[in-house]
Amino acid sequence: MRKDALVVVIAGIAVGAAALILVAAGNPKNMGLCIACFERDIAGALGLHDFKNSAWIRPEIIGIILGAMTASFIWKEFRPEGGSSPATRFLLGMFVMIGALVFLGCPLRMILRLGGGDLNAVVALAGFVAGIWGSVLFLKSGFNLGRTQKLGKPEALIFPAIAILLLLLVIFLPLFKAGGPIYSGPGGHPGAGDKPVVGVGPGILISLIAGLVVGIIAQRSRLCLAGGVRDMILIRSPHLLLGSVAILAVVLIGNIVFGNFNFGFENQPVAHSGHVWNFLGMGLVGAASVLLGGCPLRQLVLAGRGNTDSVIAVMGMVVGAAFVHNFGLAKAASGYGKAAVFTGLGLCVVLGLLNREK
């Protein structure tokens, strides 16, 4: 095995192990790590949506950002750059979140759900691959969001500074006004039951360390769940895909060993069996992620590395989470949820056509 492929496999093993540890420490089953879900929780903690059961500042997200930044400084890969179609990236980030929350998970959680025996994630995986395949067609025809520009370090350090501020908020949980933010909802997270959520109280350190480790190894390995499928379709390279396979293998073995494996469609934690919407929701995530240049995890890592284009995409995801809950878009059976998914898929087609280089 090539050295770079081995690094990706090791990264996948570490991410899978981190997810298992976080579940054992209190995160819901099949949700040890979920970038979309945890960004949604941060939006709730800041009062951007009113679903208070999902209102925690998640140290895992903070750790990933700071871990990626730390790794990029150590290995001299910190690259302040940006300025490539910011409005388009913000909009795509919003629809990545909409698709993810219709499915109830990002690509990483999709893999974790597969490893837990959730067959709904198989349907979602098919949609994810289909969406990526569709956007690859645009890549082949010259899709490009434009060149990035070099930026100064102060600009690139703003996002990590915000992450540090969020860490201070989750540690001290200040009350800015009666009944106002920073919110921390009862039960912590859907599916957590009576178990404490690791991002609260004594679990802050566990969550932060797990995020730091994931951020460091994801930066060093270039791990990207959408990129793995994209490269396999586009250039027949299995290199990045090995990371997803490694995550799945570790989580599958771990769930079987610890008795958390539940094979089937029904009675899965924080999941639904609306097959059409699982397929289309993750299809939207796959399509938009390829146009953005990476999955939600990759966007978070690039943002920590100094890429302000990815910062814009992450901000779009956070705002997208607010839209999802404030307007009931996560309820895929509703007309609004269906309209949001179809709008996002249509947007990907339009942007794919309009941003082709002549």
Confidence of residue 179 (pLDDT cuts 50, 70, 90): confident
Query: Which residue's structure tokens are 């004594």?
Result: 202
Residue 182 pLDDT > 80, yes or no?
A: yes
| Average pLDDT rounded to a whole number, residues 237-243 | 95
Measuring CA to CA, how many Å separate 213 from each of 66, 210, 358? 10, 5, 42
Res 181: pLDDT: 86
Percent of the chain at pLDDT exceeding 70: 94
Q: What per-residue confidence (pLDDT) applies to 247?
A: 98
pLDDT per residue as tens digits for the range 24-45: 988 889 999 999 999 999 999 9
Of 319, 317, 303, 299, which Cα lies nearest the Cα of 151? 303
Does 191 have pLDDT greater than 50? no
Instruction: Give the H/E segment covering residue 270.
Output: none
Answer yes or no: are the C-beta atoms of 8 and 231 closer than 8 Å: no
pLDDT for 244 beyond 80: yes
Which range has the worst mean pLDDT, 44-58, 223-237, 263-277?
44-58
User: Has residue 86 got a pLDDT over 90?
Assistant: yes
Mean pLDDT of 144-150: 94
The stretch 70-97 carries a mean pLDDT of: 97
**Which tokens sit at 9?**
């496999």
Which residues, 6 or more positions from 193, have their beta carbon under 8 angstroms from its beta carbon?
A: 187
Tokens of 329: 């878009």
Name every residue whose Cβ is closer than 8 Å to that of residue 158 and which is 6 or more positions away in sequence. 311
123-144 mean pLDDT: 97
Residue identified by tokens 């599958």 is 252
pLDDT category of residue 192 using cuts at 50, 70 and 90: very low
This prediction has a pTM of 0.94
pLDDT range class, residue 358, cuts 50, 70, 90: low
pLDDT of residue 4 exceeding 60? yes
> What are the boundaries of each domain within the chain?
3-354
Mean pLDDT of 48-61: 88
Match 């219709």 to its residue by tokens: 102
User: Residue 333 has what pLDDT?
Assistant: 58
